[in-house]
Amino acid sequence: MKAMILAAGKGERMLPLTKETPKPLLQIGDKSLIQYHIEALAEASVSEIIINTGRFGEKIEKVFGNGKEYGVNIRYSHEGSEPLGTGGGVLNALPLLGSSPFILINGDIYTNFNFSSLNSHTDNLAHIILVDNPAHNSNGDFTLHGGLVGEKDKIMLTFGGIGVYQPRFFYDGDKQMISFIPALRRVINQKKVTGEHYQGKWHDVGTPERLRSVNEELL
């Protein structure tokens, strides 16, 4: 199974740290955010990784190259200075991803999730990872009942930015998806999305304050 790491965002919430550095290259401890993903995917025997890039994308490619040093093959889907969004970014990369299910990971999370566990969910249209609600998303996003993801209930969880998807998920009839979350909600309402509650290490490090907090926790 292939994997795609979303790394094309402008990183505006991370300013001034992203003034000259793409967000995926910001450091947690002694490694960049994206390096943790690459190493975890390699450990899970995922050997083909696609990284979409935007502003400063050449810096990511310069650091990781073809991935040989990490035991994987990395290819890049360049989007230019204006990100295409999650849906548009995946559509742009589909020629590299192929016709089989693939893992999709947000580039601005820090986690020790075991990606090999997703191998058992490749028959689903989409299978997503939900986590306990962080302080900045206390109301949560979705609920989980009997392995099916739903929209509203008393107990809500947060979408963890990790999932495995069939390529056809990114098409709505003959239309190509641009807005990812509305499309995900629509398919959830059709009861076509499975999920699981992950309770291990997970952080959304989308702001300088959260990045600093995770680094302090490591220390």
Judge contact between 215 and 203, C-beta under 8 A.
Answer: no
Q: What pLDDT shows up at residue 172?
A: 58
Q: Domains in the chain, start-ordered, CATH in brackets?
A: 2-218 (3.90.550.10)
Q: What does each of the 219 residues of the chain score in pLDDT, given as a tens digit?
A: 999 999 998 778 888 888 889 999 999 999 999 999 999 999 999 999 999 998 888 999 999 999 999 999 999 999 877 778 888 899 899 999 999 999 999 999 999 999 999 998 988 899 999 999 999 999 999 999 989 999 888 889 999 999 999 998 987 554 555 678 888 998 999 999 999 999 999 999 989 999 999 999 887
Say which amino acid occupies 103.
I
